[in-house]
Amino acid sequence: MKDGDSDVSMRGSQRQASRDIDRCDRTVLSSPSGDDLQTVATLLVSRAALAAIALIASLVVAPVWGLEPQVSDSQFDSLRQQMVELQIQRRGVGNEGVLEAMEHVPRHLFVPEAMRADAYVDHPLPIGQGQTISQPYIVALMTALLELDGSEKVLEIGTGSGYQAAVLAELAAEVYTIEIRQELGRQARELLAELGYDNVHVRVGNGYRGWPEQAPFDAIIVTASPPEIPSALVEQLRVGGRMVVPVGADAIQDLELLTKTPGGMLRKNIVPVRFVPMIGGGDEE
């Protein structure tokens, strides 16, 4: 989820349609329903074309007049529905709770205002300070891997925009999320409170240490990539709990699902991913 996409401009959105489909293809390759590629691409074009017609005036004409593009709430609703259907469900994420949560959380409010028209496209977006909000499919996939039933206490490392925390908040009892960059943490805390997510608790700090006062956690999700699995997080996961983490020091990492058993950690490799690095080192505890 690097900031390679940070130059995507609103006026560029339509021109980028074909490139977005290429990106979509690459992700689909690693998903269970890759056979549907042609169908997905076709649907994506036709459904997106309808939405595009409605958006053209705001994306192309408005900037010419020096105005901010205007996308109505109902247009955002329909873009969000398409996102869930075409980018997530079609790629094999079937967890109803996750699909509903992603259909409910207003992702466009978690991206900078100038990026809102692009909030529902099939790739990550810049959120400031060189950081990114993950591609919707990856948010859905990681959330589904946690298999939440509503009763859990979840720890997230890497609050960023707060979007992933909001999705988790729809599916778990309490969400504790840690952001190392003060400004991002502050903004996310404010937005989540404004949207009424009072079961999300944001801390500015170093996620390598976890949140010992609230441990143990039933699930842990790490949304920046550490070179190795942070030991404090393993300690703070309850036995039987699940942890999703992109592990690796290179540009491409392995998304791993870990399950804590009385005998140790079970590790499963899920898919290659690209996250921003988890900074702050692992040994200053």
Measure the CA–CA gap between 136 and 31, rounded to whole angstroms: 14
Three-class SS of residue 248?
A: coil
Smallest separation, CB 156 to ligand SAH (Å): 7
- Nearest CA among 240, 88, 80 for reference residue 152: 240
Phi, then psi, of 18 in degrees rounded to 5: -70, -35
Q: How far is 141 from 91, CA to CA, in rounded Å? A: 10
Of 184, 200, 245, 255, the residue at the interface with ligand SAH (CB under 6 A) is 184
Minimal distance, residue 112 CB to ligand SAH, in Å: 12
Binding mask 99-138 for ligand SAH (x = CB under 6 A): ----------------------------x---xxxx----
- Annotation says 6 is catalytic: no
Cis check: omega of the bond before 136, within 30 degrees of 0: no
Q: Which residues contact 27 (CB under 8 A, 6 or more apart)?
A: 91, 122, 135, 137
CB of 251 to ligand SAH, least distance (A): 15
Among 136, 160, 210, 248, binds ligand SAH (CB under 6 A): 160
| DSSP run (H or E) holding 202 | strand 200-204
Residues in region 242-261 near ligand SAH by CB under 6 A: none
Task: For strands 125-128 and 264-273, give the pairing.
Answer: unpaired
Could you say whether residue 276 binds ligand SAH (CB under 6 A)? yes
The helix/strand/coil state of 193 is helix
Q: Tell me how far apart the terminal alpha carbons of the chain are, to the nearest angstrom.
A: 27
Smallest gap from residue 180 Cβ to ligand SAH (A): 4
Among 83, 224, 243, 258, binds ligand SAH (CB under 6 A): 224
Judged by beta carbon, residue 80 or residue 181, the one nearer ligand SAH is: 181
The answer for residues whose C-beta is within 8 angstroms of residue 82's C-beta and 6 or more apart is: 47, 48, 51, 120
Catalytic one of 31, 58, 134, 225: 134
Which residue from 135, 143, 164, 187 is in contact with ligand SAH, where contact means CB under 6 A?
A: 164
Residue (58 or 159) nearer to ligand SAH, CB? 159
Interface with ligand SAH (CB under 6 A), residue from 58, 95, 135, 223: 223
Q: Which residues bind ligand SAH (CB under 6 A)?
A: 127, 131-134, 157-158, 160-161, 163-164, 178-181, 184, 206-208, 223-224, 276, 278-280
Q: Active-site residue numbers?
A: 134
